[in-house]
């Protein structure tokens, strides 16, 4: 089996999460049913809600379960249609697609939001805005100063949504400390299953539901909750090991040092970044060539944002950071996780150096 270094795409499910899910897969589990099966499902749903809320310092009734991080993001963005939307230029496509160019907040070369641009856009708004800025970037791992951004939003009466999908499981995520009004999280990025995610929304906010019909999730998201996946989400969140993430950063730092000394370029090197993520260019060698070579040699990594056709597009994140298009076309993303060993990172480092030396000849 290939070494899996693509945890930011999806992280392998943890055994604890699989076990918790398995208990529910064979049962009729609709938490809205009044009979004993339904009541058991309701208990599981509310237990999971409590566990997840506690882990991120939110209240249980602030959690709306959704089927994906994408759905959580879109629920937040469409939930306040009277507000003008402002999003950063480095957001995930599920956020980016909702804003026009005029509503795009710039980033500076280190990948951090241009706070002056945000303030200028907030100040020139005639009516209150909804700002959406991610906690950590999926391609570079760069972490945004959300608490500072939240202060600025408050000053101008704007609401702040924060996409924390990549941050959960890698760095502390504390809803009350961040100061955002809404937060998106997703199970499959932190050792849970596909099919469960959540939008966390402050108690005092009333949101227009994206999906309406049934009264599930206090009328904020219609559709029968996916109990097995939600049980798996709570079990995964319980076993998050942030200490191992810190250890991974040490291994990744060593990898980055070796790659840099051989001519590799690490994006956001001096910015605060996720402990598991490295976005690196091998100048003169296209991302496609690298991906194919690493794949043939048993390493699963990724590049830019692979669209649904599998074609690789130049990273909008790197372009927004002012990286030249030719260099952006030579970048790959290495993202490790809970089951990545030091040996695997060392072996990948050797593979990178070997490819670089071979192509230089």
Is residue 68 near ligand PLP by the rule CB under 6 A?
A: yes
Is residue 349 near ligand PLP by the rule CB under 6 A?
A: no
Binding mask 71-90 toward ligand PLP (x if CB under 6 A, else -) reads --x-----------------
Task: Specify whether the backbone of 219 is left (phi greater than 0), alpha (psi in -120 to 50) or beta.
Answer: left
Task: Specify whether the backbone of 155 is left (phi greater than 0), alpha (psi in -120 to 50) or beta.
Answer: alpha
C-alpha to C-alpha distance for 28 and 13, rounded to whole angstroms: 23
CB contact at 8 A, 183 and 69: no
CB of residue 199 to ligand PLP, shortest distance in Å: 11
For residue 236, give the nearest of 187, 269, 276 by alpha carbon. Answer: 187
Q: Annotated catalytic sites, by residue?
A: 307
Which range in 162-170, 173-181, 222-230, 315-323 contacts ligand PLP by CB under 6 A? 162-170
Which range in 66-74, 198-206, 274-282, 291-299 contacts ligand PLP by CB under 6 A? 66-74
Our CB check for ligand PLP shows the closer of 248 and 259 to be: 248
Our CB check for ligand PLP shows the closer of 49 and 92 to be: 92
C-alpha to C-alpha distance for 230 and 73, rounded to whole angstroms: 18
Our CB check for ligand PLP shows the closer of 138 and 349 to be: 138
Is residue 166 near ligand PLP by the rule CB under 6 A?
A: yes
CB of residue 138 to ligand PLP, shortest distance in Å: 3
Our CB check for ligand PLP shows the closer of 56 and 282 to be: 56
Question: What part of residues 88-107 is at the interface with ligand PLP (CB under 6 A)?
Answer: 92, 94
Our CB check for ligand PLP shows the closer of 186 and 349 to be: 186
Our CB check for ligand PLP shows the closer of 94 and 278 to be: 94
Beta-strand relationship, 129-132 and 159-163: parallel
Select the residue whose beta carbon is closest to ligand PLP and give its number.
69
Is residue 121 near ligand PLP by the rule CB under 6 A?
A: no
CB of residue 139 to ligand PLP, shortest distance in Å: 8
CB contact at 8 A, 170 and 276: yes
Number of chain residues interacting with ligand PLP (CB under 6 A)? 14
CB of residue 170 to ligand PLP, shortest distance in Å: 11
Our CB check for ligand PLP shows the closer of 166 and 336 to be: 166
Is residue 6 near ligand PLP by the rule CB under 6 A?
A: no
CB contact at 8 A, 227 and 24: yes
CB of residue 33 to ligand PLP, shortest distance in Å: 27
Q: Among 138, 144, 278, 287, which residue sits at the site for ligand PLP (rule: CB under 6 A)?
A: 138
C-alpha torsion sign, points 266, 267, 272, 278 = negative
CB of residue 127 to ligand PLP, shortest distance in Å: 27
CB contact at 8 A, 262 and 353: yes
Is residue 197 near ligand PLP by the rule CB under 6 A?
A: yes
Beta-strand relationship, 63-66 and 312-313: unpaired
Binding mask 26-65 toward ligand PLP (x if CB under 6 A, else -) reads ----------------------------------------
Which range in 45-53, 69-77, 141-149, 215-223 contacts ligand PLP by CB under 6 A? 69-77
Contacts with ligand PLP, residue ranges (CB under 6 A): 68-70, 73, 92, 94, 134, 138, 163, 165-166, 186, 188, 197
């Amino acid at each position: 089996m290939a070494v899996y270094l693509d945890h930011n795409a999806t992280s392998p499910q943890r055994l604890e999460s699989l076990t918790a899910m398995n208990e529910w897969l064979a049962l009729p589990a609709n938490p809205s049913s009044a009979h004993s099966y339904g009541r058991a499902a309701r208990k599981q749903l509310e237990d999971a809600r409590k566990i997840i809320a506690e882990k991120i310092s939110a209240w249980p009734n602030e959690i709306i379960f959704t089927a994906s991080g994408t759905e959580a993001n879109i629920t937040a963005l469409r939930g306040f249609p009277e507000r003008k939307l402002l999003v950063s230029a480095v957001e995930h496509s599920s956020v980016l697609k909702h804003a026009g160019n005029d509503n795009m907040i710039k980033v500076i070369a280190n990948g951090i939001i241009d706070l002056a641009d945000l303030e200028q856009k907030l100040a020139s708004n005639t009516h209150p805005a909804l700002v959406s800025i991610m906690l950590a970037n999926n391609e570079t791992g760069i972490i945004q100063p959300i608490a500072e951004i939240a202060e600025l939003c408050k000053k101008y009466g704007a609401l702040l949504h924060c996409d924390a999908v990549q941050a959960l499981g890698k760095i502390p995520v504390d809803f009350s400390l961040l100061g955002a009004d809404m937060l998106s999280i997703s199970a499959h990025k932190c050792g849970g299953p596909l099919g469960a995610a959540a939008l966390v929304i402050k108690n005092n906010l009333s949101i227009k539901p994206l999906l309406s019909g049934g009264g599930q999730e206090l009328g904020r998201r219609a559709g029968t909750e996916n109990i097995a996946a939600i049980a798996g989400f709570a079990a995964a969140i319980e076993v998050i090991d942030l200490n191992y993430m810190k250890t991974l950063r040490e291994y990744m730092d060593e990898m980055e040092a070796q790659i840099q000394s051989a001519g590799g370029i690490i994006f956001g090197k001096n910015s605060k970044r996720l402990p598991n993520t490295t976005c690196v260019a091998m100048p003169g060698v296209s991302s496609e060539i690298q991906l194919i070579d690493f794949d043939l040699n048993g390493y699963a990594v990724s590049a830019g944002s692979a669209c649904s056709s599998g074609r690789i597009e130049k990273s909008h994140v790197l372009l927004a950071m002012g990286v030249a298009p030719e260099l952006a076309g030579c970048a790959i993303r290495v993202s490790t996780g809970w089951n990545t060993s030091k040996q695997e990172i060392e072996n990948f480092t050797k593979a990178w150096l070997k490819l670089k030396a071979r192509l230089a000849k």
